[in-house]
């Protein structure tokens, strides 16, 4: 399985899943599931993650909420 755009951007910024989860106010297991496309991110979680890493929903998420 290839890394998602969300994962690649997080790594480019030198952040861990735990870092992003903490700053976004979500559980680290949720962040892991979102990046691995096992969980659909709610609109609230998508906005919280984007508040940490930047960019737009279209950059990192499909309309369904799955990470790209």
Per-residue pLDDT of the chain (68 residues; tens, 9 = 90+): 689 999 999 999 999 999 999 999 999 999 999 999 999 999 999 999 999 999 999 999 999 999 99
At 38 the three-state DSSP class reads coil
Residue that the structure tokens 């799955």 belong to = 66
Find, among 21, 55, 23, the residue nearest to 41 by Cα: 21
pTM exceeds 0.85:
yes
- Tokens 């499909």 belong to residue: 62
**Domain made up of 5-60: CATH architecture:** Orthogonal Bundle (1.10)
* Domain boundaries, given as residue ranges, for the chain: 5-60
């Amino acid at each position: 399985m290839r890394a998602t755009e969300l994962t690649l951007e997080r790594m480019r910024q030198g952040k861990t899943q735990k870092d992003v989860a903490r700053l976004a106010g979500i559980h680290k297991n949720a962040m892991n599931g979102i990046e691995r496309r096992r969980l659909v991110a709610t609109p609230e979680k998508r906005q919280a993650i984007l508040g940490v890493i930047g960019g737009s929903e279209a950059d990192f998420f499909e309309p369904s909420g799955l990470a790209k």
